[in-house]
Amino acid sequence: MYEFRFGGEVQQRPAPGSDQHTWGEYLYMRTNVSGIERAWWFHRVGCRRWFQAERDTRTNRVLRTGWPPLPGGVAGAVAASSAAGVAAGPGGSAAVTNAPPPPGNADAGGGDG
Ligand SMILES: [Zn+2]
């Protein structure tokens, strides 16, 4: 039993009418960045809301959390972590855009858990 549930990295949803290749990449390909990643999380034991967190996947350290859009983008988090003496990873400049929460999660409306 975990308080938070991982919802996957934040991605840009393809435009309606995008080709099959584009949708395939969106649905199945993951960046799996080594460095700062922005991802969806679900506070399953608590307010039961989806939020975003920026986390350094090398150290599992959470840099910041919030409801989108998070101001400053990932670049801002990289700058903040650099100021704190943490080197920015190669994935730190990845483009992050707003997207709806992942659909079809089993926890939605699941009662007390
Ligand atoms: Zn919460």
Task: Write out pLDDT tens, residues 40-70.
Answer: 999 999 999 999 999 999 999 999 999 987 7
Q: Is residue 111 part of a domain?
A: no
| Alpha-carbon gap, residue 86 to 1, rounded angstroms | 31
**How confident is the model over 10-40, as pLDDT tens digits?**
998 999 999 999 999 999 998 889 999 999 9
Q: Is 69 helix (H, G, I), strand (E, B) or coil?
A: coil
The count of structural domains within the chain is: 1
Which residues span the domain enclosing 13? 4-97
Q: Is residue 73 part of a domain?
A: yes
- What residues have their beta carbon closer than 5 A to ion ligand 1? 43, 46-47
| Alpha-carbon gap, residue 21 to 11, rounded angstroms | 16
Q: Is residue 82 part of a domain?
A: yes
Q: What is the DSSP letter of 2?
A: -
Q: Is residue 72 part of a domain?
A: yes
- How far does the centroid of ligand 1 lie from the alpha carbon of residue 48, in Å? 6
Helix or strand (DSSP H, E) at 6: strand 4-9
| Alpha-carbon gap, residue 35 to 54, rounded angstroms | 10
Mean pLDDT, residues 92-99 taken together: 44
Q: Looking at residue 64, which CATH number applies to its domain?
A: 3.30.2270.10
- How far does the centroid of ligand 1 lie from the alpha carbon of residue 73, in Å? 21
The answer to whether the beta carbons of residues 79 and 104 sit under 8 Å apart is: no
Residue 102's pLDDT band, with cuts at 50, 70 and 90, is: low
Q: Is residue 69 part of a domain?
A: yes
Q: pLDDT value at position 86?
A: 37
The answer to whether the beta carbons of residues 100 and 106 sit under 8 Å apart is: no
Q: Is residue 45 part of a domain?
A: yes
For the entire predicted model, the pTM comes to 0.58
